[in-house]
Structure 1
Amino acid sequence: QILALPGVHAVFRRTGSPESSFYIEGPDQGELVVRLDKTGKHDTTALKHKLDQLLQKMDGVIGRVNEPTSEKLDESFSGLPALFGITLYGTDLDELYSAAAQVEATAHKLPGLANVVNNTKIPVDQISIRLAPDKLGLRRVNTKDAARAIRLAMQGATISEVVKDQKPVPIFLRFQSQFRKGIEDVRKIPIPVVDGGSIPLSQVADIRQSSGHPAIAHQHGLRSLTLTAEIDGNPLSVIHNLNTALAGLHFPPDIQIAYTGEYGQLIKTASQMFWVFLGSALLVYGIIALQLNNLLDPLVVLGKLPMDFMGAALALFVTRQSIDLTVFIGFITLIGVSTNNGIVVLTFARNFREQGMGAVEAIREATRVRTRPMILTQLTTLLALIPAALGLGDGPQLLQPLGIMLFGGLTASTLFTLSLLPTMYMATERWRKIIPSRTKKMA
């Protein structure tokens, strides 16, 4: 069905995760990689919508449609294949699954949360083997030998190595697939006896087939269960609404809820970003002070940064883009670009004042001289950001918030450099007479 969709060139399938790989899916999970044709004439948003509809029609399957680059980055940052995760902690597994069902039903009703996925709610067939101590003693079977025989038959193990082409090749031993298909094959697993020979596993164990939980995870010493979702809109508003909705639910006392995924990392990073921005501002202040030989002009340049940040934040708010780690990186980038424009204008103003102009004439002439070069430079940058801001090309989900943030921030930076910066320069003129420049001090 996927191959029949327009724009699809090929589909690749992977079930589970191989050993020593960067994949995190368990044996009950899989991944379909859809390769699009090379024409580039396809609407990825429409294709994603059609794939979502196909998944919804499949009974017993829970799926998510995501872009490979974005998914791998999310997994690298947070260990989850989605931006947002709701993790429940507790001691009783049944209570955890009951609470997760309530959270999932609540999250589905909230606007701003999309693709809410609970991979653990579908039971899987299991075969439980419980060794009977009395039967083991009666049959003279060692518990360790019985466990090793079961593991070797069903899971397999590396028993030795051989050298081939000067490279060690492991010898892996396990029952063939036709001898481990069902519960009857498990009952026939030979278990070694201390006196020699073997007996079927059914003579020393209680073997039953049932449905159970697909996985049991532990974090911080507690059992855990994670639901994943995507935030579509303002993250702060969505989280506030989710907190309000979850506060109305009634959970057992030992159930704890935490937000994980990349958003959880953002919460931890937000406090650290304050010090990053502060360190960046101090570093930029020192560089500008050395460049302009003045301790006051750097404050003029840095003083308009909050307005530039407001322009970037407004662009994200209007387009309803979520905040992720790439946006934080974009804000740091904006500091460098914005201060560079201010440095150039104030450098020209200083040169004009050294030629005998007054403060008003110098800053006016510096702004006039730098207006066209600055607008043309910023215009070329903004034009280059349009494809990313519009979500065109490959990987729009990853690049679009960054493109929109930089587009709004650079636009605001250009406008405020040509308007607010001269005003702040003149407002600090009387202080400039009190605080002499570094050049005058050295003279």
Structure 2
Amino acid sequence: MIFEGSQADMRESTNTLKAGFSIAMLLIYALLAIAFSSYTQPLIVMTAIPFGIVGAVIGHILLGYDLSLVSLMGVIALSGVVVNDSLIMIDYANKRRLAGDSIYEAIHEAGLRRFRPIILTTMTTFGGLAPIILETSSQAFYLIPMAISLGFGIVFATTIILVIVPCLYLILEDIKLLRKKGSTVKRVDVLEA
């Protein structure tokens, strides 16, 4: 007979949460790949997720809370919000590209036009969670780590989304152009030989 108690329950819950998070990330990637008709653009959108996790950890450190299972649940919720913010920027840039804008004009316009919705999402999310984060009663004690993960994660990720996502979008386009140039040079060499 093995006596493990709460440690075994915690380990089982953590493993279940990891499996669920992995499945959620695969589903998000698949849905974004279908929506964008691209295998690489969903990766740009999903690069903001680790930065949200860093923000959640920083929030816990600043407020003196330990990471817990409830904190990890907040990180999973955070992932959805962060993906949404990145998604609206990339989607707008793609629409501008279809309208005939250059890659730079499209992502620049997306940054300008989607700045307000992204900031409003961040402010309303953090503002709505602030009362829970600042709550001192014992009833809210178990919800505070989830609110910290979601609130601080979205604030940190938003600053990253507004800078890194447009850069990655341009880098992806540069890689596509280099690959296209490389294949054109190879074809010319084959034709000359």
Shorter-chain TM range is 0.7 to 0.9
Q: Give the counterpart letter for 1:337 in structure 2.
A: V
Q: Give the counterpart letter for 2:65 in structure 1.
A: Q
Q: Give the counterpart letter for 1:363 in structure 2.
A: I
Alignment identity in percent? Answer: 26
Higher helix share: 2
Cα distance, 1:330 vs structure 2: 1.1
Q: Does structure 2 conserve the Cα–Cα contact (< 8 Å) formed by 1:301 and 1:421?
A: yes
Matched, 1:356 2:100: yes
Aligned to 1:317: 61
Q: Give the counterpart letter for 1:321 in structure 2.
A: Y
Cα distance, 1:370 vs structure 2: 0.7
Q: Does structure 2 conserve the Cα–Cα contact (< 8 Å) formed by 1:296 and 1:432?
A: no
Write the distance in 1 (CA, Å) between the matches of 2:43 and 2:67. Answer: 28
Q: Give the counterpart letter for 1:313 in structure 2.
A: V
1:418 alignment partner, one of 162, 167, 172: 162
Give the 3 Å change call, closer, same or farther, for CA 285–390 of structure 1 in structure 2: same
**Equivalent residue runs for 1:373-388 within 5 Å:** 373-388=117-132
**Equivalent residue runs for 1:218-233 within 5 Å:** 220=1
Write the distance in 2 (CA, Å) between the matches of 1:272 and 1:366. Answer: 38
Task: Provide the aligned length of Structure 1 versus Structure 2.
Answer: 179
Cα distance, 1:432 vs structure 2: 4.1
Render the CA deviation track for 1:302-351: whole Å, top value 9, x for unaligned: 12211111111111122221233322211111111111111110010001
Cα distance, 1:430 vs structure 2: 2.9
Cα distance, 1:422 vs structure 2: 0.8
User: Relative contact order, CA 8 A, sep 6+: which one is greater?
Assistant: 2
Cα distance, 1:275 vs structure 2: 2.7
Q: Does structure 2 conserve the Cα–Cα contact (< 8 Å) formed by 1:360 and 1:426?
A: yes
Matched, 1:403 2:158: no
Give the 3 Å change call, closer, same or farther, for CA 317–266 of structure 1 in structure 2: farther
Write the distance in 1 (CA, Å) between the matches of 2:33 and 2:176. Answer: 13
Give the 3 Å change call, closer, same or farther, for CA 432–294 of structure 1 in structure 2: farther
Write the distance in 2 (CA, Å) between the matches of 1:432 and 1:365. Answer: 21
Higher strand share: 1
Q: Does structure 1 conserve the Cα–Cα contact (< 8 Å) formed by 2:75 and 2:146?
A: no
Aligned to 2:189: none
Aligned to 1:292: 36
**Equivalent residue runs for 1:318-333 within 5 Å:** 318-333=62-77
Q: Does structure 2 conserve the Cα–Cα contact (< 8 Å) formed by 1:266 and 1:324?
A: no
Q: Does structure 2 conserve the Cα–Cα contact (< 8 Å) formed by 1:387 and 1:393?
A: no
Aligned to 1:266: 10
Report the 3-state secondary structure (helix = DSSP H, G, I; strand = E; otherwise coil) of the residue aligned with 1:294: coil
Report the 3-state secondary structure (helix = DSSP H, G, I; strand = E; otherwise coil) of the residue aligned with 2:100: coil
Write the distance in 2 (CA, Å) between the matches of 1:375 and 1:304. Answer: 15
Q: Give the counterpart letter for 2:29 in structure 1.
A: Y
Matched, 1:305 2:49: yes
Cα distance, 1:385 vs structure 2: 0.5
Aligned to 2:89: 345
Report the 3-state secondary structure (helix = DSSP H, G, I; strand = E; otherwise coil) of the residue aligned with 1:398: coil
Write the distance in 2 (CA, Å) between the matches of 1:268 and 1:283. Answer: 23
Report the 3-state secondary structure (helix = DSSP H, G, I; strand = E; otherwise coil) of the residue aligned with 2:26: helix
Cα distance, 1:413 vs structure 2: 1.9
Write the distance in 1 (CA, Å) between the matches of 2:36 and 2:150. Answer: 27
Render the CA deviation track for 1:76-111: whole Å, top value 9, x for unaligned: xxxxxxxxxxxxxxxxxxxxxxxxxxxxxxxxxxxx
Give the 3 Å change call, closer, same or farther, for CA 268–345 of structure 1 in structure 2: same
**Equivalent residue runs for 1:2-401 within 5 Å:** 220=1, 260-261=5-6, 264-392=8-136, 395-401=139-145
Write the distance in 1 (CA, Å) between the matches of 2:35 and 2:163. Answer: 22
* Coordinate RMSD, CA, aligned: 2.1
Q: Does structure 1 conserve the Cα–Cα contact (< 8 Å) formed by 2:74 and 2:145?
A: no
- Which range moves more in the overlay, 267-276 or 305-314? 267-276
Cα distance, 1:352 vs structure 2: 0.7
Cα distance, 1:273 vs structure 2: 3.3
Q: Does structure 1 conserve the Cα–Cα contact (< 8 Å) formed by 2:107 and 2:166?
A: yes
Structure number with greater Rg is: 1
Write the distance in 2 (CA, Å) between the matches of 1:423 and 1:392. Answer: 41
Report the 3-state secondary structure (helix = DSSP H, G, I; strand = E; otherwise coil) of the residue aligned with 1:295: coil
Cα distance, 1:272 vs structure 2: 3.9
TM-score for both structures, normalised by structure 1:
0.38
Q: Does structure 1 conserve the Cα–Cα contact (< 8 Å) formed by 2:56 and 2:149?
A: yes
